[in-house]
Amino acid sequence: MSIILKQPITGPAAWSGPDLESETSWLRPLTPDIIDGLDSALAALKAKGLRFPDFTREDFPIGPLGRLLPALADELENGRGFAVLRGLPVHRYTDDELKAVYYGIGLHLGTPVRQNPRGDLLGEVRAVGDPTDKRTRVYETNLYLPYHSDPSDVVGLLCVRRAKQGGLSSLVSVARIYNEILAHHPEYLGLYYRMFYFEHLCEPQPSLSPIFSYHEGKLSCRYLRQYLELGCEIKGVPLSLVEIEALDLFDRIMHDPGIRLAMMLEPGDLQFANNYAVLHSRNGFEDHEEEPLRRRMLRLWLKMPNARTLAPEFPGRNGFPAPQAT
């Protein structure tokens, strides 16, 4: 069972954004030899007559990048919890080729999992949903996307096109949020270990989960206030006044400019983040009128071979189950 951690978290996971803005060790350029290796893997895939998503990691030998991915996986689990690979030449690839390359990288980093009941292994992050409908997935609009975690070990975002204006990506350290609560408002700490109903955890009905879980030496977090409130509403379990106070405090801390790290993802950037250690967000944006110019991201949800052990009351949520054959 999880216990309530009562000591501050130290080490690289407890970072603050302003400290990282002055150095770029979290930003890793893709060198020409890495790009050549990906192109060779794509050529080998085509020679076999294979295409996304019907191939395995053995069908896509990625060359030099493969030697860097173990260090990336370790950084995601035991370091800061995020990293950005920069420089994939997205403009050179057809849509099918780009999906194959991105998916192939994902196969070597972890195991891609399904992102919706249809069974999609790559998610299209575009403004296509109705923002007035509470059940619209928040990433499907051009509105501000609140800080949240996705139901997988790791989330990857590949920037294909930027918006006309806005769409800034933002990350915040779960450990830093925890340290702030512990230091300044420890009276609320136990509330975050309570079980709440969350909607959109890849199940037909809202599921119970705490916000914080500390297990085997690691702190994990699951959060998106909109989905928590929606889950409690669906189940008919209203939040208490003190629970609302605790959520308000959580939100104030994670929006502190002295904590978060903001970045503009450029075309060809691949951002990876550990969903237990980092919350991610995006500000609102104005898009182009022309469809071929509109903002577009491709999303991967990955089950990781080096993922932490989670407490029984904080089960892993690695995507949706496979669609049943009809």
Q: 296-303 and 154-161 as β-strands: parallel, antiparallel, unpaired?
A: antiparallel
pLDDT reported for residue 295: 79
Has residue 40 been placed in a domain?
yes
pLDDT reported for residue 38: 98
Has residue 9 been placed in a domain?
no
Has residue 133 been placed in a domain?
yes
Has residue 323 been placed in a domain?
no
Has residue 317 been placed in a domain?
no
Residue 26: which CATH number? Answer: 3.60.130.10
Token pair 């790791």: residue: 154
- Cα dihedral across residues 70, 72, 75, 77: positive or negative: negative
Has residue 180 been placed in a domain?
yes
Has residue 325 been placed in a domain?
no
Under DSSP, the state recorded for 193 is G
Total of domains in the chain: 1
Task: Give the Cα separation of 43 and 97 in Å (integer).
Answer: 10
CA 307 to the chain's CA centroid: 14
* Cβ atoms within 10 Å, residue 87: 17
* Cβ atoms within 10 Å, residue 238: 11
Q: Could you give the angle at the alpha carbon of 161 between the alpha carbons of 159 and 167, nearest 5°?
A: 75
pLDDT reported for residue 13: 97
- Angle formed by the axes of helices 95-109 and 32-47, nearest 10°: 110
pTM of the model: 0.92
Has residue 35 been placed in a domain?
yes
pLDDT reported for residue 128: 47
Residue 211 tokens, joined: 């916000």
Tens-digit pLDDT string for the chain (326 aa) = 568 999 999 999 999 999 998 888 999 999 999 999 999 999 999 999 999 999 999 999 999 999 999 999 999 999 999 999 999 999 999 999 999 999 999 999 999 999 999 999 999 986 545 555 555 455 555 566 789 999 999 999 999 998 776 678 899 999 999 999 999 999 999 999 999 999 988 888 999 999 999 999 999 999 999 999 999 999 999 999 999 999 999 999 999 999 999 998 999 999 999 999 999 998 775 665 677 768 799 999 999 999 999 999 998 889 999 887 55
| Domain carrying residue 91 | 17-303
